[in-house]
Amino acid sequence: MKFSTVLYGLAGLTAFTWFLAAEEVRIAKDGEPCLPVVSEVMRGKVVNVKDADTIAIVRDRKLISVRFEGIDAPETGQDHGTKAKQALGEWIHGKVVEIHVTGIDDYKRTLGYVFLDGVNINEKLVREGWAWHYTDYNCDPMLAKAEVYARSKQHGLWDHDRPIPPWEYRKLLRERRALAAERARSKRQTARDLVPTKPVIVPSKVRPSAPTLSYWLNTNSGVRHNSTCQHYGNTKAGRSCSGSDGRACGICGG
C-alpha cells in the first residue's frame, strides 16, 4: 500500500472524527453548548433529598445545593414524584458522593453529575425510569440511551403511555396560578364597583340672620324708630323702648 494512500486515509478519518465531535457539541435552546464540560470534582455527604433531581450535601462544613445535570425528575405533586424521590433517597441519602461539577444554574445551585462508588446516579435515575433526559439543556448521548432503555422496558414513570414531563407540569401550574390571580383581581375590582359611593353633600348657602333691632322712642312726638333709622337716638327728647311702644316711623318702619 502506498504511503500517500495511507496518509489520505488518515486525513479522511481525522476529518470524520472532527465531524462527529462537532455533531456531539450541539446547541441547547438557551444558546449554550448542550454537551456539558466538567470543571471540577467535589465530594460531600448527602444530608437531604429534596426531590429526585435536587439534593443537598455537606462539604467542608458548608451546605451545598446540587441539581443533577441533564435530567428532570417528576415534581412531588406528579405521578411517581414521591416514588422517584424515595428511590434516590434509598440509593444515596447519608452517603458520601462525588459531584462532577458542570456549572451553576439560575437558582445558584451547583450543576453536576453525581457518582456513588463509580456509578453515575444521573444515568441510573433515567435508566430506572425515575427521570427524563432534559434535552432542552443537555444532549449527553449516555442519558439519551438511558431514556430509550427505560421507555422500552416501561420502567418507573414509563408504565404510563404518556406521562407528563415535569417542565410541562410546571408550565401548567404557572398558567393556573396566573389565571387564579387574574380572577381574584377581577373579583376585587367587581366588589369595589358594587360598593355605593358616598353622596357628596354640598352645603346650602347660609342665609344671614336678620340683624337684631333696638328701638328709640321720640318722647315729644311719640314716634318709634329702629336702630337702622337716621333718627334713632337723634331726637331732642327720647328714650330706649320696645318694639311695641309708640307709633312706627314712616321711614324705617319703627
CA dist., res. 40 & res. 112, Å (int)? 9
* Catalytic annotation, pick one of 23, 40, 75, 176: 75
Q: Of 110, 105, 109, 146, which is closest to residue 128 (Cα–Cα)? A: 146
67 tagged catalytic: yes
* Catalytic annotation, pick one of 67, 123, 128, 147: 67
* Catalytic annotation, pick one of 23, 26, 109, 182: 109
Asked if residues 204 and 176 have their Cβ atoms less than 8 Å apart, the reply is no
151 tagged catalytic: no
In the Cβ-directed half-sphere of 182, how many Cα atoms lie within 13 Å?
Answer: 6
Beta bridge partners of 100: 41, 113
Q: Catalogue the active-site residues.
A: 67, 75, 109
